[in-house]
Amino acid sequence: DSGVTQTPKHLITATGQRVTLRCSPRSGDLSVYWYQQSLDQGLQFLIQYYNGEERAKGNILERFSAQQFPDLHSELNLSSLELGDSALYFCASSVRTGTEAFFGQGTRLTVV
Amino acid sequence: DQQVKQNSPSLSVQEGRISILNCDYTNSMFDYFLWYKKYPAEGPTFLISISSIKDKNEDGRFTVFLNKSAKHLSLHIVPSQPGDSAVYFCAASAWGETSGSRLTFGEGTQLTVNP
């Protein structure tokens, strides 16, 4: 158990809909990262937050947004969903930026 | 632009032998390198890391070697065990004061250790 909690574990939704993925980082970790893993592909970095502020952005679509709340949990919002958004979405946390990150079990999103 | 590359999608070794997983990178700003192991339906698990000021780091059966001039790192697992069968991801980071940091991952190598 990495200490990073992601909910829900599975999500099935229709095209055009909006979903919110939630992440609770390990206790004491200030940095939260979101990654996307599509079928048979590597982990693509989406966005990083550190202590409530956005610190780095990857190839995150404009339809996607994220935030980190004062209690350090983070949410990833995906809107106007398309079939190609079906993927595993991982959240990771680290004590500070630039150190090893610990991953949650992921949310498997299926868009039908 | 794939800044971290794992050119071998799969590797098969016999139990008890050495497994060597390789990784190449192109960004000379990377200063911290990590290996993660991933089982199906689970999140990646941190395995071992190395700073760019070192060329070797060892933790039990796992050793990571870094060759900065070649922009190459490798993970050695000795002896390999069937439970080591998983996908191994190489990752690298470059910290920037204004840009923060991220882990850039390779595509992964599926290691299969045969009994």
Q: In this predicted model, what pLDDT tens digit does every residue of B9-22 receive, in sequence order?
A: 999 999 999 999 99
Answer whether residue B99 shows pLDDT above 60: no
Confidence band for B106, pLDDT divided at 50, 70 and 90: very high
Mean pLDDT across the stretch B40-48?
91
Strand stretches in A1-112, DSSP E: 5-7, 10-13, 19-24, 31-37, 43-50, 53-57, 64-68, 74-78, 87-94, 102-103, 107-111
Among A31, A48, A105, whose Cβ lies nearest the Cβ of B43?
A105
- Distance between CA B71 and CA B52 in Å, rounded? 10
Contact between B95 and A42 using a beta-carbon 8 Å cutoff: no
- Per mean pLDDT, which range of A80-84, A98-102, B45-49, B104-108 is the poorest? A98-102
Contact between A101 and B104 using a beta-carbon 8 Å cutoff: no
Answer whether residue B96 shows pLDDT above 70: no
Answer whether residue B94 shows pLDDT above 50: yes
Answer whether residue B2 shows pLDDT above 80: no
Contact between A90 and B32 using a beta-carbon 8 Å cutoff: no
> What is the rounded average pLDDT for all residues in chain B?
92
Backbone angles phi, psi at A58, to 5 degrees: -105, -145
Q: Give the gap in angstroms from C-alpha B80 to the nearest C-alpha of chain A.
A: 23
Give the three-state DSSP class for A100: coil
- Distance between CA A2 and CA A23 in Å, rounded? 12
Q: In this predicted model, what pLDDT tens digit does every residue of A19-51 receive, in sequence order?
A: 999 999 999 898 999 999 987 678 899 999 989
Chain A interface residues facing chain B, Cβ-Cβ under 8 Å? 2, 4, 31, 33, 35, 41-45, 48, 50, 55-56, 58, 90, 92, 97-106
- Per mean pLDDT, which range of A3-7, A66-70, A96-100 is the poorest? A96-100
Q: In this predicted model, what pLDDT tens digit does every residue of B63-72 receive, in sequence order?
A: 999 999 999 9
Answer whether residue A69 shows pLDDT above 60: yes
Whole-number pLDDT of residue B9: 93
Confidence band for B48, pLDDT divided at 50, 70 and 90: very high
Answer whether residue A9 shows pLDDT above 60: yes
For residues B104 and B3, is the Cβ–Cβ distance under 8 A?
yes
The number of C-beta contacts closer than 8 angstroms across A and B is: 64
Confidence band for B25, pLDDT divided at 50, 70 and 90: very high
**B32 vs A contacts (CB less than 8 Å):** 98-99
User: Which of the listed ranges A101-105, B48-52, B75-79 does the model predict with the highest average pLDDT?
Assistant: B75-79
| Residue B45: strand pairing partners | B37
Among A33, A92, A98, whose Cβ lies nearest the Cβ of B95?
A98
